[in-house]
Amino acid sequence: MKNRYFKKIALLALVTATLSSCTKDLDLRPTNDLTSESAFTGLNGYKQVLAKVYGSYALTGNSGPGSSDLGGIDAGTSDFLRLYWNAQELTSDEAICAWNDPGLPELNFQTWTPGNVLLRGLYTRSLFQITVANEFLRESTDDKLSGRGLSQADLAEIKRFRAEARFLRAFQYWVLMDLFGNPPFITENDAVGKFLPNQIKRAALFTYIETELKAIEADMAAPRTNEYGRADQAAVWALLARMYLNAEVYLGAGNAKYTDAITYSSRVINAGYTLMPTFRNLFRADNNVNNPEVILSINYDGIKSLNNGGTTFLINSSINAAMSPATFGVPNGGWGGNRAKQTLPLLFDDRSGNTDRRAMFFDGKLNVDDVSAFTDGLASTKFSNLTSAGVAAPSSNGTFASTDFPLFRLAEMFLIYAEAVKRGGSGGTEAQAITYLNRLRTRAYNGSTAGNITSYNLDYILAEKGREFYWEAHRRTDLIRFQKYTSDAYLWPFKGGVKAGKGLESFRTIFPIPSADVIANPNLIQNTGY
């Protein structure tokens, strides 16, 4: 079992900033009353600042709920996962939100504009996390380290910290590449000061991320040897596999990298990970314990690291008071916001979960007729603040969750391998792919082989990806890769703002650069169509 140091982050106020546009997002050194000389003192000081780099994924600010590193957006909705989940799920065929908060209806209906506050928040959050990583990297160069009295062993450990910071930065650049296409770009090698960042094009950003990930691979911990919640070589391989599977989206038709997707997904598969025996336990409050499947997660603690985003948001927004929130480990929770469009539960033969145990829905009305009614559409109960034993985890105010969110897990590598093989990649076989797929099916059917398959096609892969990964912020990216996102040949309820659904404009496969940034920075060119 991995060490739990990064599971219970009681975040120190080491590095903060308030950001409002990209002209500030990337050019200002995050500051507070601590200087670099006092923060970066000894190995422990570097480790604490690295915890901030990780912690900026899990918290909105340094003072708990109500504080935010970002300006121009409500603190409760400035959380990375909450914003990312909204962008990936509400804009797809899986989820819809009953709330009328600013920016949400446009995501429900795929009618967003460059002024959408939630997209601006996500864009800014990603850039903030890049900024924090850049600052760590500036303070961990050979020149900086040479004057700080560190031992050779400490220097070797900080070299690993540095590789992890580069990974976290690469992950956020992948988020920006996937969602926004052509963001502003800066690294630790750029001077700190007021200037206007240049824009990087999507294809060039792909090459940069790929190069970074390969450059840090040797300096990362071997798979499953790092502290819990910290990235290792398998996380590097998993991100590369995901990127290569989507290469034709990022680089254009004819630039397939399916062979590479097979290579890197296979590295993860062969690195000693195994499936969690019980599917639902992947999404319970003790999923940090004896979890052989998750490669990297965002970690939460319902007492020590409070945030109205993350899995607190996922759990509470997916249930309401009538569903007895205490049975989900949040007795004072239940916000009644998000539920499934009928296209999601209909992926399962039996949505009650009696056959495919991954179907975790609260019984009710299947179809969404009234977007503002939480009871229209089934509620997803996939995430819970109960432990695997069914006991509620400690929760401040009976609302906050301790359930970690998986960013990468082994099941995705099985599906990447199978899809890449079917799309013509070399180095894998359909027989092996079917073996991997049937491991997922056997677990889903509680150990029975009744749901196993003997062949598959690409449509099956997309459906199986939906069954395995719904509510895990994959769906928009998957639909785009399968060319079903904007197409009028595949419709879902309220797609395009019409109850029966309609096709979308082709430019909506990427989001707009926030208008405030385009106005403020003449180096930025708005994405086509916006």
Per-residue pLDDT of the chain (530 residues; tens, 9 = 90+): 333 434 443 333 333 333 333 434 444 444 444 445 557 888 999 999 999 999 999 988 877 777 888 887 888 789 999 999 999 999 999 999 999 999 999 999 999 999 999 999 999 999 999 999 999 999 999 989 988 889 999 999 999 999 999 999 999 999 999 999 999 999 999 877 777 999 999 999 999 999 999 999 999 999 999 999 999 999 999 999 999 999 999 999 999 999 999 999 999 999 999 999 999 999 999 999 999 999 999 999 999 989 999 999 999 999 999 999 999 999 999 999 999 999 999 999 888 888 999 999 999 999 999 999 999 999 999 999 999 999 999 999 999 999 999 999 999 999 999 999 999 999 999 999 999 999 999 999 999 999 999 999 999 999 999 999 999 999 999 999 999 999 999 999 999 999 999 999 999 999 999 999 999 999 999 999 99
Please enumerate, as own/partner, the contacts of 438-447 that have beta carbons within 8 Å and a separation of 24 or more. 439/275, 439/414, 440/275, 440/411, 440/414, 440/415, 440/464, 440/468, 443/275, 443/276, 443/277, 443/278, 443/279, 443/357, 444/279, 444/356, 444/357, 444/358, 444/468, 445/355, 445/356, 445/357, 446/357
**Are 231 and 167 a contacting pair, CB within 8 Å?**
yes
Domain coverage including residue 54: 14-219+493-530
How far apart, in Å, do the first and last CA atoms of the chain sit?
48
Predicted local distance difference test score (pLDDT) of residue 6: 45
Residue 224 covered by a domain: no
User: Residue 253: what pLDDT?
Assistant: 97
Does some domain include residue 206?
A: yes
Is residue 34 domain-resident? yes
271 occurs within a structural domain: no
The count of other CB atoms within 10 Å of the CB of residue 26 is 23
pLDDT at 40: 83
At 484-499, the pLDDT tens digits run 999 999 999 999 999 9
Report how many domains make up the chain.
1
pLDDT of residue 75: 82
Residue 336 and residue 310 in contact, taking contact as beta carbons nearer than 8 Å: no
Is residue 268 in a domain?
no
- Asked whether residue 456 is domain-assigned, the answer is no
Answer yes or no: is 187 within a domain: yes
Paired residues of 376 in beta bridges: 365
* Per-residue pLDDT reduced to its tens digit, 208-223: 999 999 999 999 999 9
Which CATH number do you get for residue 196? 1.25.40.390
Distance separating alpha carbons of residues 278 and 360, to the nearest angstrom: 13
Residue 352: predicted pLDDT: 85
User: What does pTM read for this prediction?
Assistant: 0.94
75 Cβ contact partners less than 8 Å away, ≥ 6 residues apart: 60, 61, 65, 66, 67, 68, 308
Does residue 525 sit within a domain? yes
Determine the 3-state secondary structure of 405 from DSSP.
strand
